[in-house]
């Protein structure tokens, strides 16, 4: 992608540690990917994820395009199982340009009625590597996307390790995107 500068101090998440960081105003960053509404940048001192809410600090970034691309995966009408899968397809590992569904990270999806009315959605997902500090960040992104769907009143994402993820779990579409088909 492109190299640009930060217009102001911006909160970020260090990749793969998952720790909070602040990138300084004026710092040069290279945009690595802009998938799922978040931005992954490379700075002189590492790789970082900048949330959509803070992406305005990146000089020259087309925020409208970022929003259009982020909304495309979760676009749709009412609630359905397919709407949940589509919402999850809007979530990306910040290091890999493939959504978490096509990466094979989603192991189980359970949809039920909430005792208070509306829908309850439980997702079991894994990560590409145990100990990945970005796990809670990715899981929360997935949870927020599912929770934003119509009728959903409760959304939970659980990180599980059994079975252990392997590259063979990547879908055919994901393999094509990665050039390993």
> H/E/C letters for each residue in 47-97?
EEEECHHHHHHECCCCHHHHHHHHHHHHCCCCCCHHHHHHHHCCCECCCCC
* Report field, pTM of the whole predicted structure over 0.75: yes
Rounded CA gap, 95 and 34, in Å?
11
The per-residue pLDDT for range 111-122, each reduced to its tens digit, is 999 998 899 999
| Max intra-chain CA distance, the chain | 51
Token pair in block for residue 174: 């994901």
- Hey, what domains does the chain have and what are their CATH numbers? 3-71 (2.30.30), 76-178 (3.30.300.130)
Q: Are 111 and 82 in contact (CB under 8 A)?
A: no
Tokens 């809410």 sit on residue:
53
> How confident is residue 72, by pLDDT bands cut at 50, 70 and 90?
low
């Amino acid at each position: 992608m492109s190299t640009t500068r930060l217009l102001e101090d911006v909160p970020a998440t260090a990749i793969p540690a998952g720790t909070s960081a602040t990138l300084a105003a004026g710092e040069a960053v290279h945009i690595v990917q802009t998938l799922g509404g978040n931005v992954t940048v490379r700075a002189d001192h590492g790789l970082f994820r900048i949330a959509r809410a803070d992406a305005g600090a990146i000089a020259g970034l087309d925020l409208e395009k970022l929003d259009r691309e982020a909304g495309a995966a979760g676009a749709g009408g009412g609630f359905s199982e397919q709407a949940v899968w589509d919402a999850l397809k809007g979530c990306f590992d910040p290091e890999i340009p493939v959504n978490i569904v096509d990466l094979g990270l989603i192991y189980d999806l359970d949809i039920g009625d909430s005792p208070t009315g509306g829908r309850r959605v439980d997702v079991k997902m894994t990560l590409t590597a145990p100990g990945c500090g970005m796990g809670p960040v990715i899981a929360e992104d997935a949870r927020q996307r599912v929770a934003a769907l119509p009728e959903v009143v409760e959304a939970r994402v659980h990180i599980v390790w059994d079975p252990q993820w392997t590259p063979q779990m990547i879908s055919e579409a994901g393999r094509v995107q990665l050039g390993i088909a």
